[in-house]
């Protein structure tokens, strides 16, 4: 999806925590930063028919990012900051490209939140992760429908079980 544009592909500053559960949440927040950036482009290139889907998805990702940041801060973990820019996996200059980017970002969000789910040691982190994973799966399916991709759903969002 949208990968940070600055420097190498190593962890963004601040440094990634060593605890596995914190690290997964840190990664998820970093992914959400990129998704929120990417939805700006999706919004710019989508048709008006997708306005509601764009705004609902974006609002959901903002909420998840803020919640993730909040939880990291509670554990004295410095959350990741947004990159200065993000590299897109392909050129986005029309509604089809926008929808493809949205699918890709939702798939990446699903992977990140499933990792949170698997690494979490607290039940309410798992609740957050299941909520996020489900939202990502639903949004990805809606964007596939926009693209006319069949089927719109996958058996294992965020994984390849």
Partner 1 sequence: MLVGAAALALLGGTVATACGSTPPVKDVDALVGALERARDDSRLAGNAAAAAAPTIATALSVVADQRAAHARALTDEITRIAGEAPTTSASTSASSTSATPTTSGPPPKPPTVADVVAALKQSADGASLLATQQSGYRAGLLGSIAAACTAAATVALATSGVTS
Residues forming contacts to partner 1 in the complex (CB under 8 A) are: 63-64, 67, 70-71, 74, 110, 113-115, 117-118, 120-131, 133-134, 136-138, 140-142, 145, 150-159, 161
**Nearest distance, CB of residue 128 and partner 1, angstroms:** 6
**Nearest distance, CB of residue 84 and partner 1, angstroms:** 28
| Beta carbon nearer to partner 1, 98 or 107 | 107
| Beta carbon nearer to partner 1, 88 or 134 | 134
| Beta carbon nearer to partner 1, 4 or 158 | 158
C-alpha span between 106 and 89 (Å, rounded)? 14
The beta strands (E) that lie in 1-155 are given as: 3-4, 86-87
**Nearest distance, CB of residue 10 and partner 1, angstroms:** 25
**Nearest distance, CB of residue 110 and partner 1, angstroms:** 7
| Beta carbon nearer to partner 1, 96 or 118 | 118
CA dihedral for 142, 68, 37, 111, sign (positive or negative): negative
**Nearest distance, CB of residue 155 and partner 1, angstroms:** 4
| Beta carbon nearer to partner 1, 26 or 86 | 26
Say if CB 38 and CB 1 are below 8 A apart: yes
DSSP annotation of 75 reads T
CA dist 100 to 43, 118, 139, Å? 12, 27, 12
Burial of 68 (0-12, 13-18, 19+ CB in 10 A): buried
């Amino acid at each position: 999806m949208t990968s940070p544009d600055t420097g190498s592909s190593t962890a963004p500053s601040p440094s990634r925590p060593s605890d596995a559960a914190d690290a997964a949440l840190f990664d998820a927040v970093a992914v959400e930063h990129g998704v929120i950036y990417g939805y700006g482009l999706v919004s710019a290139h989508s048709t008006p028919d997708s306005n509601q889907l764009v705004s609902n998805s974006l609002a959901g990702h903002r909420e998840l990012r803020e919640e993730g940041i909040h939880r990291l801060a509670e554990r004295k973990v410095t959350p990741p900051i947004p990159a200065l820019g993000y590299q897109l996996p392909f050129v986005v200059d029309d509604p089809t490209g926008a929808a493809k980017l949205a699918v890709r970002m939702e798939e990446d969000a699903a992977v990140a939140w499933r990792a949170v789910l698997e690494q979490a040691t607290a039940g309410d982190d798992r609740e957050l992760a299941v909520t996020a994973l489900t939202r990502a799966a639903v949004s990805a399916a809606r964007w596939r429908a926009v693209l006319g991709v069949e089927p719109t759903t996958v058996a294992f969002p965020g994984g390849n079980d």
